[in-house]
Every structure is written in structure tokens, then in C-alpha cells.
Amino acid sequence: MSKTTSHRGGLSRRSLLAGTASLLASPMIVSSARAQAKPVNIGVIMPLSGANAQFGINSRNGIELVADEINAAGGIKALGGAKINLIVADATSTPTTAGTVAQRLITQNEVTAILGAFASSLTIAISEVTERRDIPLLTMSFADQITGRGFKNIFQIVAKASALGKAQLDYTLAIARASGAKIDKIAIMYEDTAYGTAQAAGLRAAAKAANIDIAMDDAYPLGITDTTPLINKLRASGAQAVFPVSYLNDSLLLIRTMRQQRITIPAIGGAAGYVIPDFEKGLGEFAENVLSIAPANYDLAPDLTERFRKRFGYFMVHEALEHAVALDVLVQAIEKAKSAKAEDVTMALRGAKFTGGWTKAMTGGAVEFDSTGLNTLSVPVMAQWRNKELVTVWPKDVAKGTAVWKS
Amino acid sequence: MKRWIAILAVIAIAAVLPLLLSPTGYWIRVLTFTLLFAAMAQVWNIIGGLANQTSLGHAAFFGIGAYTSTILVLKFGISPWIGMFAGGFLGGIAALIIAVPTMRLQGHYFALATLAFGEVMRVIANVWTSLTGGPVGLSVPFVPPSIAAYSFKQLLPHAYIALIALIIVTVIFEAIRRSAMGYRLRAIKENPAAAEVIGIDTTKVKLQTAVISGVLMAMLGTLYAQVAVFFDPDTVFSAASISIRVALIAILGGVGTAIGPILGALFIIPVEELMNDLFSSGAAGLSQLIFGVILIAVILWRPRGFITVFDSLMARFSNKARS
């Protein structure tokens, strides 16, 4: 492309065109320089702008940490110490753009695999491209559809949204029972995104199975600015526990309004906005004792996750942790396949069990994909805010502390 | 005569270009979306440029088209080619429903009313889960490749379909512009009161353009769904990435001209991609910031659109040819 530009150009604009041409050619020069070391290109597609940018940045940090560690330790041994070369790209918040970006990474950068893209809708759009091009896609997006479509090249590292929703309710009941409280009436509030609706459906089904009355079941638009009507309804409902499922800003608004109105019933968040440092920063003391379901938590493997805190200055949020695990598993698969070819790596990933390294940080202590690509060993955990940290309080066998339940 | 040769030459270049790109590659995808957005902006131009009604709700018709054909293929196995016309029909009805109460509004008021309509459609698609799949979105099923099923393994046929669509809507735009209806629209644009006085049924003419624009926009929604393969309510009913973008493309290129939307799309879509390619691995959000700065610079440089650059180039060439 750059060549045609410079040939067609007139003499008077030569310098301008030369500048443009070199700008256009710069990615090619960079990639050819790297090609001499034969690195393995791995695509990282994250929402780096828009509403979910913070989650995308967290995820990228986790991936960069692992990539740098592996490279520093001598790269991929089976490929003669080949270095990992991350190609990071912005998925924005539009699924179609995410798909186009995936197409670019596959054809321009010849990536072995792609990691991404936090938000389920972006991941689904990317998977439509990777599936047609037979490139493995490793993700920590929750949506059930991700591994529910019979795709062969997708790997979901965490439990599905419906399982998270079910655990959110079941764990809560168990925690309440353990502290001598009884719940028979709950409230559900969720944002009307793919993640919110899927997780709410899991909550609803679990509540029905446990014979619990859902006194309030309300969807609200992402980016809601006034939660007072919701909170008024919550007060009137007489619920003994509230299950909000939302990203960051909504979660801050909901909990703040609730506590300011002196509604002190336990709040059990649905991961996302409830388990990142900004939640505590935005709410201060109101955050204390708020519970949240999470696909993983950093306190289960402090020896690994403290490295993240040391480098980036905040605790290793779950999306960073799961993406770190995803990259570790991918590299293990490349080592096993002794090849950086996408189809060999997919073969090595499918149906295999991965242990050691970052997989220890997951519940189950390992990662094993079934034929749909779902990690069957991953079990959600319940975390609670205690003095600016998230403490795993359930299930009992992995818990690092006892849950505080004040009803 | 010369004009026709020039037009044919441009079409010939456009027809050959996709063949030079890798059929499974990245640039052909960018080209396909560029052609699609050019066509969408051209359709917007029918109402935005000719009738001078700045619609910010064209995502509504677009989404109706995408959803109609995809739901028909998912639930009944009906080919998207037929679904495209079903979507066009529903898009036309939607345009009629929205146009009747809003056509009397002018300027900002019309823009805001249409913006709200797009948003209403997004909420409906989000809530009506049994039909639309809700916020999770819909995936176009992958059926064995065939022209009849509108299913291809490669992007190349999609690029040609988008090119043909662009040519068709451009011809429709130009035909309307030159027809009696075009003259009526121009009269309304200049002075609505005077147009009424000389016997033009302004409401009827505006309604006609709104319905034509709605039908075509919905049909393009089907093409988009077939290329993107997956979409959710936020994608196809988006104010920012559909409604405002098509208006922006037409305005940046030159409102009310047949070439404007094409120039606008040829600039906006590839530059946006290039910025993402070059800068998105750096600081988060940097690529969009740079893209925004470029847009501002371009609008300051050519407030009346790229068409002015195009016109002055044309003038220079014809002067040279004469001397």
C-alpha cells in the first residue's frame, strides 16, 4: 500500500509522501526485525477505550506480566527459546470492530492464538472470526453462549455466567445459614447487558430451586444515573439480601444510595464492578463487608499474585488473574505441541489438563477443557471486602476467612 | 459523454480492487465495510441531503433490517435475500410511523426526535428477548456456502455485493435528485413556505423520501449482518456507531451530492482502522483520540466537505485539458 502511494505522488509533495509511506510501512519494518528471533505472536484484543476500558487495561496488565516473566525465563523452550510477542489491539466497545481487529491480527500479524476480550459481546464477535480461520481463542468472558455454540477453537477459562449466578445465590444461602440467619426473600437488580441478563437468569433459576421468593427482579440500563427509584423499590420489597449485577459506575451508585438510605441488608455483587480496587476507592467505608461472587480471587495464590501488585501497584483483579492463567495455559500448549501453528496448539489445548504455573491460582488448582472448550475445574468463589482487600470466604475448603453476615 | 467515461472508469477500478486483496484478509473486510458505510451514508443523504432533514435515527431502520433477515433465517430458514426485502418492508413502515409525527419538526427538533426513535428500538430489542435474543445478540448461522443462501466462505463476494449496493443506492439518489421530486425537495429546502404556495405538498414529498431512505437503510442492515455475522442491540441500534457515523460520513464528504458520502466513507473507515492499527497498542484510547483530532482538523480545513477538494481538482484538470 505504501509503495503505490509513493509511486503515484508528485515531485512537490515528495517529502510529505515519504513521511506517510514510512509511517505506513513502520509496522512492517518492526515485524520483519522481530522475525529474525522467530517470536510467537499472540494477539491480545481488549476494550481499551470506552466504558469497559479499565477492565481491558487490567486484563492487559495480567497478560503482560506473564509474557515478560516467560520471556525473561528464556522464552518457549520447545521452540528454541522463542520469545512471546504480544500484539495488543483496542476492541473499542463495538463487536464489529472487535471482529475486524481479530481479522487484522490473524492476517497481518499471523498470530498463533488470541486472548480476549473481557466483554462477552466482543468475545462472541471475535470468536466468529477465529472459528472460521481456525485460530484458538482463550477467554474469561462469562456468557453461556461462548462455549454453547459448538465452536471448536474457543476456550473458556472460567465458569459460565449461569453457573456464577447459581453460585452467587447458593453460596449466600450457605453463608447465611452458617451464621444462623435465614433467607426467604431476595431482590435482584441487573444491568441489561449480555453479562447482566445471563447472570440474573442463573440467580433466578437457583432461587426457584431453593424455594426462595424473589421480591424484586429489575433490569436497568447500563450507565444509569439515578438509582433512587430502584432503591425505593428495594426498601418496599422487604428483601433480606440484594443481588446487584453490574459494572463499576452502576455498582458504586447502587451501593452508595443504599447505604445512604440506611438499607443495611447484605449486598452480594455479581463480580465485574464489585471486585476491583476502584469499588473500594469510590465507596470507602460503605464497601466494607460487601460480598461478591468472583470466578477467582487473588488471595488463593498470593505467591503468584503479589508479583502483580508489586509491578502495577494494586491487587491482582480477577480478570488480570484469569488472563494470566489463559496465557500460561496457552504457552504450556505450545510447549506440548512443540509448534506455534494454530491448529497444533488447538489440538494440544482440547481435552488436556494443565497444571503448575499460574493454573494454581484458579479454583481446582488446574485447568482442564472439555469438548466444548469450557474449563470444567473452575468453581466460583465468594469474596468479601475487608479493610480494602478482598477475602475469599466461600466455599469452605478454599476460604481464607469467615464471612461476616449482618442482617 | 466524458462524464460517463469517468464514471465507468471509477466503477471499473472499484470492481478490480477487491481482486488485488487477499480474499480472506483484513483489508478486504475494511473495504467491504467502507463500501457498506458509503452506501448507508448515501441512503442517509436522500433524506439528510435532499430533504434537508438531519436524521440521527437511521440506526432504527438499519437494525430492523439486520434483525428481520437474521430472525427469519434462524427461525424459519428463509434466505437472507428474501429476508432483506422483508426487512426493507418493515423499515419502510417504521420510517412512515416515525415520519408522520416528526416531519413537521425542523432542524434540531427533528434530529432529536429521530435520535430518540433509534434509542427506543434499541431498548425494544434488548427487552424482547424471545424474539431478538435480548442483549446477548444474534449470530447469523453458518450454512453451506451458496449464493442462494447468501453464505460465502470468503469475504470477496461480500465486497462485490456491497459495491453493487453502493452503485444502486447512488443511482437512486441521483435519479431522485434529477427528478421532479428532486426539484420539489430543493424548493422545500430553500423556502418551505414558498414551496407550499406554489402548490407543493411538502409533507407528502418529505414522507416519500423518508420511506425510500428507511427501506434502503433496512436492506443495507441485512448486508451488514451477513458480513459482521454477529450483532447485538448496541451494535445495530447504536447512535454513535451507526446513526451519527453515517451522518458524519455524508457531512464530511459533502451533503446533498452523490460523491460526498463515497469520499467521506473512503476517508473515515480506513483512517479509523489505520489509527487503531498504529496506536491502539500504546496508551489505551490513544487511537480514538488521534482519530478525533484528525476529524476536527479535516472539518476545519474543509467545512463544506471533501467534495470541495474534489471539485477544485476537477476544475484544475479540465482547465489543463483545455489549455
**B91-114: per-residue pLDDT in tens?**
999 999 998 888 778 778 888 999
The residues near B130 (Cβ < 8 Å, ≥ 6 apart) are none
Can you count the helices (H) and strands (E) in chain A?
Answer: 13, 14
Residue A7 burial (CB < 10 Å; 0-12/13-18/19+)? Answer: exposed
How many domains would you assign to chain B? Answer: 1
CA distance A224 to A230: 10
A228 residue type, one letter: T
Q: Is residue B192 over pLDDT 80? A: yes
**Residues of chain A with C-beta less than 8 angstroms from the C-beta of B287:** 49, 90
List the CATH number of the domain containing B315. 1.10.3470
Q: Determine the residue type at A367.
A: V
Determine the average pLDDT of the residues in B188-195. Answer: 86
Q: CA A110 to CA A366: how far, in whole Å?
A: 29
**Which cell numbers in the block locate residue B95?**
420510517
Residues A285 and A304 in one domain: no
Contact A90 B284 (CB under 8 A): yes
φ, ψ of residue B140 to 5 degrees: the values are: -70, 125
Q: pLDDT for A371-401, tens place per residue?
A: 899 998 999 999 999 988 899 998 888 888 8
Q: What is the mean pLDDT of residues A256-269?
A: 88
Residues of chain B found within 8 Å of residue A50, distances taken between Cβ atoms = 285
Please report which confidence band the pLDDT of residue A30 belongs to, taking 50, 70 and 90 as the band edges.
very low
pLDDT, mean of residues B146-171: 91
A240 & A389 share domain: yes
Whole-number Å distance between alpha carbons of A369 and A383: 25
Same domain membership, residue A388 and residue A262: yes
For chain A, the residue count is: 407
Helix (H) or strand (E) holding A389: strand A389-394
Could you tell me which of B225, B299, B217 has the C-alpha nearest to residue B264? B299
| Chain B residues touching A90 at Cβ < 8 A | 276, 280, 284-285, 287-288
Residue A204 has pLDDT above 80, yes or no: yes
Average pLDDT, chain A: 85
Q: Please, are residues A325 and A92 in contact by the beta-carbon 8 Å criterion?
A: no
> CB distance A124–B288 less than 8 Å?
no
Specify whether the CB–CB gap between B53 and B206 falls below 8 A. Answer: yes
| Residues A123 and A182 occupy one common structural domain | no
Res. B182: pLDDT tops 80: yes
Q: Identify whether the C-beta of residue A129 lies closer than 8 Å to the C-beta of residue A321.
A: no
| Cα–Cα dist A132/B194, whole Å | 58
d(Cα A283, Cα A240) in Å, to the nearest integer? 22
Check CB contact under 8 Å for B26 and A87: no
Inter-chain touch A48–B284, beta carbons under 8 Å? yes
pLDDT of residue B1: 58
Residue with C-alpha cell 441489561?
A: A192
Cβ of B137 within 8 Å of Cβ of A194? The answer is yes
| pLDDT (tens digit per residue) in A166-195 | 899 999 999 888 888 888 899 999 988 878
Grid coordinates of A352 = 488436556
Q: Check whether B284 has a pLDDT greater than 50.
A: yes
Q: What is residue A31's predicted lDDT score, i.e. its pLDDT?
A: 46
DSSP 8-state class, residue B251 = H
pLDDT interval class at A1 (50, 70, 90): very low
Grid cell for residue A355: 497444571
Question: Do the chains contact at A90 and B139, CB–CB below 8 Å?
Answer: no
For residue A189, report the phi and psi dihedrals to the nearest 5 degrees.
-130, 135
Query: Which residues share a beta bridge with A293?
Result: A382
Pairwise pLDDT comparison (A317 vs B275), residue with the higher score: A317
Closest Cα in chain A, distance from residue B136 (Å): 4
Whether A227 is covered by a domain: the verdict is yes
Q: Is pLDDT at A29 greater than 50 in this prediction?
A: no
Residues 166-185 of A with CB under 8 A from B: none
Which chain A residue shows the shortest CA-CA distance from B234?
A: A94
Cβ pair B228:A125 closer than 8 A: yes
Question: Which residues of chain A does B281 touch, with a Cβ-Cβ cutoff of 8 Å?
Answer: 87-89
pLDDT tens-digit map of A87-133: 999 988 888 889 999 999 998 888 999 998 998 889 999 999 999 88
Query: Does the beta carbon of A202 lie under 8 angstroms from any beta carbon of chain B?
Result: no
Contacts of A41 in chain B (CB under 8 A): none
User: Within B103-179, where are the H helices?
Assistant: 108-127, 129-132, 156-178
- The ipTM, to two decimals, is 0.83
Residue B221, pLDDT score: 96
Specify the residue for cell string 455454540. Answer: A149
* The total number of structural domains that make up chain A: 2
Confidence of residue A6 (pLDDT cuts 50, 70, 90): very low
Is residue B188 a contact partner of residue B118, using CB atoms and an 8 Å limit? no
A197 and A260 housed in the same domain: yes
Q: Determine which of A34-43, A225-234, B78-87, B248-257 has the lowest per-residue pLDDT on average.
A: A34-43
| pLDDT over 70 at A12, yes or no | no
Quick check: B124 contacting A, CB < 8 Å? no
The set of cell numbers assigned to B127 is 427487552
**Cβ-proximal residues to A229 (8 Å cutoff; 6+ apart), any chain:** none
Give yes or no: residues A128 and A194 share one domain. no
Q: Are B264 and B248 in contact (CB under 8 A)?
A: yes
Q: Within an 8 Å CB–CB cutoff, is residue B33 touching chain A?
A: yes
Residues of chain A with pLDDT > 70: what percent? 91
Q: Which amino acid is at B256?
A: G
Give the cell for residue A330: 496457552
Identify all chain B residues contacting A221, using CB atoms and an 8 Å cutoff: 123
Q: Check pLDDT > 70 for residue A5.
A: no
Whose cell is 496488565? That residue is A61
* Same domain (yes/no): A101, A146: yes
Indicate yes or no: CB of B285 within 8 angstroms of CB of A192: no
Task: Give B25→chain A minimum CA distance, Å.
Answer: 6
Q: What cell numbers appear for A197 in the block?
A: 441478563
Q: Residues 103 to 122 of B: which have CB under 8 A from any A CB?
A: none
- B84: part of which helix (H) or strand (E)? helix B80-102
**Residues in chain B within 8 Å Cβ distance of A56:** 284
> What local confidence, expressed as pLDDT, does residue B162 receive?
95
Q: Which of the pair, B39 or B201, is modelled with greater confidence?
A: B39
Q: Are residues A311 and A269 in the same domain?
A: no
CA–centroid distance for A12 within its chain: 51
Q: Which of B268, B231, B252, B230 is nearest to B307 (CA)?
A: B252
Please check whether residue B211 is in contact with residue B218, taking contact to mean a CB–CB distance below 8 angstroms.
no
Given this model, what pLDDT does residue A225 score?
81
A positions 86-105 inside 8 Å of B (CB) = 87-90, 92-97, 99-101, 103-104
Nearest CA in chain A to B278: A27
Residues 6+ apart with CB under 8 A from B219: B65, B84, B85, B87, B88, B91, B165
What would the mean pLDDT of B183-200 be, rounded to a whole number?
87
B23 touches chain A (CB under 8 A): no
Q: Is A128 on the interface with B (CB under 8 A)?
A: yes
Q: How many CB atoms lie within 10 A of CB B180?
A: 9
Task: Kindly report which listed range (A24-38, A146-160, A239-253) carries the lowest average pLDDT score.
Answer: A24-38
Nearest CA in chain A to B242: A94
Whether A407 has a pLDDT exceeding 70, the answer reads: no
Average pLDDT, chain B: 88
- All three cell numbers of A310, joined, read 508489586
Same domain, A276 and A193: yes
pLDDT confidence bin for B14, thresholds 50/70/90: confident
Range of the domain at A332: 37-159+300-368
Tens digit of pLDDT for each residue in B219-238? 999 999 999 889 989 889 98
Instruction: Name beta bridge partners: A390.
Output: A385
Q: Which domain holds residue B268?
A: 2-322
pLDDT classification of A9: cutoffs 50, 70, 90: very low
Q: Give the pLDDT score at A10.
A: 42
Percent of the residues in chain A that have a pLDDT greater than 90, as a whole number: 36
Instruction: Tell me: do A246 and A263 sit in the same domain.
Output: yes
Q: B232, A103: Cβ pair inside 8 Å?
A: no
DSSP 8-state code for residue A298: G
Q: Is the pLDDT of residue A337 over 80?
A: yes
- For residues A55 and A137, membership in a common domain is answered with yes
What confidence tens digit (pLDDT) does each residue in B114-154 have? 999 999 999 899 888 889 888 888 988 878 888 888 888 88
- Please indicate whether, in this complex, the C-beta atoms of A103 and B278 are within 8 angstroms of each other: no
B126 inside 8 A of chain A by CB: yes
- pLDDT tier at B323, thresholds 50, 70, 90: low
B284–chain A Cβ distance below 8 A for any pair: yes
The answer to whether B127 faces chain A, any CB pair under 8 Å, is yes
Q: How many CB pairs under 8 A join A and B?
A: 114
Residue of A nearest to B240 (CA): A94
Among A48, A128, A221, whose Cβ lies nearest the Cβ of B229? A128
| Nearest-CA distance A110 → chain B (Å) | 11
CB contact under 8 A, B228 and A145: no
Tens of pLDDT along A302-319? 889 999 999 999 999 999
| CB-CB contact of A293 with A271 (8 Å) | yes
- pLDDT at residue A3 greater than cutoff 80: no
What CATH number does the domain containing A200 carry? 3.40.50.2300
Q: Parallel, antiparallel, or unpaired for β A381-386 and A389-394?
A: antiparallel
